[in-house]
Amino acid sequence: MGVFLGWTGGVFSAVLGLCVGSFANVVIWRCPQEDRTSFRPARSFCPICRTQLAGLDNIPVISWLLLGRRCRSCRVRIPGRYPAVELIVGLLFLGAWWMLPPTGTEALVRLLVAFYLVAVCVIVTLIDYDHFIIPDAITLPGAALGVLLSIGFPWLQHGHLFFDAETPRLTAAVASVAGAFAGAFSLWFVGWIGNFFLKERMREAGVEDSMGLGDVKWMALGGAFLGVELVLEAIMVACFAGALLGMALKLWARWRRGTAPPGIPFGPFLSLGILVELAWPGAMWHLVGQISAAPA
């Protein structure tokens, strides 16, 4: 735990985030491909010339700069998104360390869980943005991991619905499973409502479902870690952010006399909701309570 304490803890968290961001780039590129896994082949390689990268060519951000933003072998330009992902994950890890200081064993476990969720949110966001899918290989094991960690470290569910400190492991498991169910069912229901009321628009756009099952499973993962209340709040944040962007795109298309995209991936907004709940758990419910209690 000592490596996470003091200012060195911030540096270590940021560097760890850069390295995890480098691995995230691998997952983002390989996971949607049926013939590859995140660990096969074991070594990173140039997707153009297939040359395996040397260790010195695989240092986050630094190698990209030293190589002049080009592959050492084929000299094809390396997209700036790769170091951008590494930097984003590094900054998010640093932010998680700042907001969840590891002052003890319980706090350290919470921080490591936050690191995991941050990395998965970035991975899911970019895969969904690129391919309009959220792979089961990420969501289903992640949901199971949330339940198992809740049993092993019951305090992760402290304060969540169904948790009882007198029987911590059993009720933590119940709270985690309930959160997974609440997240998955709520999003499935939103999709069902969308399919019912937007049939004509979906038919015109050639869209079969307003909400993909990948999103449903993504919120099962989120709920397994966040619990019932916070996963529902994460979905509220996602719906609000998605509606704002949708309206902005329509206004932009009208101003440019074009057409708005027929659909946008919802996974990135759900990822935003999870990150908001990690940083400010319960903030949305608090805001709704303040608005409802305000005098007319």
Kindly give the confidence (pLDDT) of every residue in the chain, 296 residues in length, as a single tens digit, with 9 standing for 90 and above. 567 777 789 999 999 999 999 999 999 998 988 666 666 666 788 888 888 888 788 899 999 999 998 988 898 998 999 999 999 999 999 999 999 988 888 999 999 999 999 999 999 999 999 999 999 999 999 999 999 999 999 999 998 999 999 999 999 999 999 999 999 999 898 878 777 666 666 565 555 666 778 999 999 999 999 999 999 999 999 999 988 988 888 887 777 776 666 668 999 999 999 999 999 998 776 776 666 666 65
Helix axes 168-197, 213-255, angle to 10 degrees: 40
Q: How far apart are CA 156 and CA 285, in angstroms?
A: 20
Q: Report the Cα 54 to chain-centroid distance in Å.
A: 29
**pLDDT score for 292:** 64
Q: How far apart are CA 226 and CA 157, in angstroms?
A: 8
Report residue 125 as tokens. Answer: 């966001």
Report residue 120 as tokens. Answer: 């998965």
Q: Which residues contact 3 (CB under 8 A, 6 or more apart)?
A: 9, 12
Q: Report the Cα 28 to chain-centroid distance in Å.
A: 12
Q: How far apart are CA 24 and CA 8, in angstroms?
A: 24
Report residue 202 as tokens. Answer: 């979906």
- Other beta carbons within 10 angstroms of residue 16's beta carbon come to 18
Residues facing residue 52 across a β-bridge: 45
- Other beta carbons within 10 angstroms of residue 112's beta carbon come to 16
Contact 121, 127 (CB under 8 A): no
Whole-prediction pTM value? 0.90
Q: Which long-range contacts (CB under 8 A, 24 or more apart) does 167-176 make?
A: 173/147, 175/150, 175/227, 175/228, 176/146, 176/147, 176/150, 176/151, 176/223, 176/224, 176/225, 176/227
**pLDDT score for 290:** 66
Q: Which residues contact 35 (CB under 8 A, 6 or more apart)?
A: none
Write the DSSP string, 148-170.
HHHHHSGGGGTTSTT--TTSHHH
Contact 9, 102 (CB under 8 A): yes
Contact 210, 198 (CB under 8 A): yes
18-73 tens-digit pLDDT = 999 999 999 999 898 866 666 666 678 888 888 888 878 889 999 999 999 898 88
